[in-house]
Amino acid sequence: MADVDSKTKLVVREVACKTILNRSSIDDYSLNCYTGCSHGCAYCYARYMQRFHPHEEPWGAFVDVKTNAVEALDRQLRSARPGEVFVSSACDGWQPIEKERRLTRACCQRLLDCGFRLNVLTKNSLVLRDFDIFDGRPVRVGVTVTTPSDTLRALWEPKADSVENRWDVVRRAHQSGLETSVMLGPLLPFLSDDQRSIEVLLERAGDAGVDVIWFDALNPRPKVWESVHALLQHQFPDLAERYRSVLFAPVVRKAYCEGLHNRVVRIARRLGLGQRLAGCD
Ligand code: SF4
């Protein structure tokens, strides 16, 4: 049974889950209290979830709420070994519906009470609400920023928070004494992967006191190309074929990824941020 939000047209279903704390390739575990994400980013890799949970609605237009998330977690916590939990890997745990449902908050609270560490990554300043339970605990608060331009952000991440609000999240997390991170990615080919954009992004990260900086190229994950291509055709028709090459032509892709990596590393070192780049000297 689905409800449709009269204002946003978001289709919301309540579902039950068997488990909520799952083994992860990123950290020890991942936690996703929702299937689907109303932020609706054009490049979202979590679209692959539709293979396992098919929906009639397009990505970004539905959210399944795992109403028994807290009960499922409590059950798992009786035997789960404490470790680091990535929140969230296949949705944004602080997408707008979390404001009323508060499932991510309740699960984070329980995990911290049971000795787990949290690695938070979001595009929504709603996470500020939960700083009271993060205070003094092993939590790394991170935001994703793919472009310094809020005009581009509005095209590619239409329902996510503004770029400025995301920087505000990490700035305030840092001021609160929490560890912080930023994921600069996917940097948008030919739109936010140029020297100046990268400089601005890294300078902002440095100014906000970010501890760990990740970066990434746009990846050809399943189901991503259709929505990226549709956006390009509509907004940047001249870039559509260049994106296709960067994503799918192996030689072009290799050169592109190497060039991007070298550019980011060079600029980060010049700005004195090389030590903060994850995986780099
Ligand atoms: S915020 Fe993350 S999970 Fe949500 S649509 Fe954007 S990329 Fe996907």
pLDDT digits 0-9 by tens, 175-200: 999 999 999 999 999 999 999 999 99
Query: Nearest Cα to 266, choosing from 192, 221, 209, 215?
Result: 215
What average pLDDT does this structure show over 38-65? 90
* Residue 185 within any structural domain of the chain: yes
Distance CA 217, CA 258 (A): 10
What average pLDDT does this structure show over 111-138? 98
What pLDDT sits at residue 8?
85
Atom of ligand 1 nearest to the CA of 39: 5
- Check if the beta carbon of residue 62 is closer than 8 Å to that of residue 130: no
What pLDDT sits at residue 279?
60
Atom of ligand 1 nearest to the CA of 160: 1
For 213, the 3-state DSSP assignment is: strand
* Residue 147 within any structural domain of the chain: yes
Distance CA 272, CA 270 (A): 5
Q: Could you tell me if the CB of 91 is within 6 A of ligand 1?
A: yes
The token duo for 185 is 């990615």
* Residue 49 within any structural domain of the chain: yes
Chain CA centroid to CA 77, Å:
25
Q: What confidence tens digit (pLDDT) does each residue in 202-234 have?
A: 999 999 999 999 999 999 887 899 999 999 999
Output the average pLDDT for the chain: 95
Query: Nearest Cα to 187, choosing from 162, 158, 219, 161?
Result: 219
What pLDDT sits at residue 281?
44
Q: Rounded to the nearest whole angstrom, what is the distance from the C-alpha of residue 159 to the centroid of ligand 1?
A: 10
Q: Rounded to the nearest whole angstrom, what is the distance from the C-alpha of residue 166 to the centroid of ligand 1?
A: 14
Q: Could you tell me if the CB of 46 is within 6 A of ligand 1?
A: yes
With 0-12 / 13-18 / 19 or more C-beta atoms within 10 angstroms meaning exposed / middle / buried, residue 25 is exposed
- Percent of the chain having pLDDT more than 90? 90
What average pLDDT does this structure show over 126-146? 98
Range of lowest pLDDT (15-24, 29-38, 46-55, 173-182): 46-55
Q: Could you tell me if the CB of 169 is within 6 A of ligand 1?
A: no
| CA distances from residue 108 to 10, 31, 70, 120 in whole angstroms, order as listed | 25, 9, 10, 10
The token duo for 28 is 């020890």
Residue nearest to atom 3 of ligand 1 (CA): 91
What pLDDT sits at residue 221?
83
**pLDDT tier, 54 (very low <50, low <70, confident <90, very high otherwise):** confident
Number of domains in the chain: 1
Range of lowest pLDDT (19-28, 118-127, 245-254): 19-28
Q: For the whole prediction, is pTM greater than 0.75? A: yes
Spatial neighbors of 85 by CB under 8 A, at least 6 apart, are 21, 27, 28, 29, 30, 31, 111, 116, 117, 118, 119
Between 37 and 24, the more confident residue is 37
What pLDDT sits at residue 271?
97
Task: Find the CATH number of the domain harbouring 269.
Answer: 3.80.30.10
What average pLDDT does this structure show over 122-140? 98
- CA diameter of the chain: 55
Residue nearest to atom 7 of ligand 1 (CA): 44
What residues make up the domain containing 138? Answer: 2-276
Please name the residue that has the structure tokens 């956006």.
231
Q: Rounded to the nearest whole angstrom, what is the distance from the C-alpha of residue 272 to the centroid of ligand 1?
A: 30
Cα torsion for 220, 242, 143, 90, to the nearest 10°?
Answer: -20
What average pLDDT does this structure show over 263-267? 98
Query: Nearest Cα to 214, choosing from 144, 277, 121, 264?
Result: 277
Between 99 and 280, the more confident residue is 99
Length of the chain equals: 281
**pLDDT tier, 6 (very low <50, low <70, confident <90, very high otherwise):** confident
Query: Nearest Cα to 185, choosing from 227, 225, 223, 213?
Result: 213
Q: Could you tell me if the CB of 44 is within 6 A of ligand 1?
A: yes
Distance CA 22, CA 29 (A): 5
* Residue 281 within any structural domain of the chain: no
Q: Rounded to the nearest whole angstrom, what is the distance from the C-alpha of residue 263 to the centroid of ligand 1?
A: 26
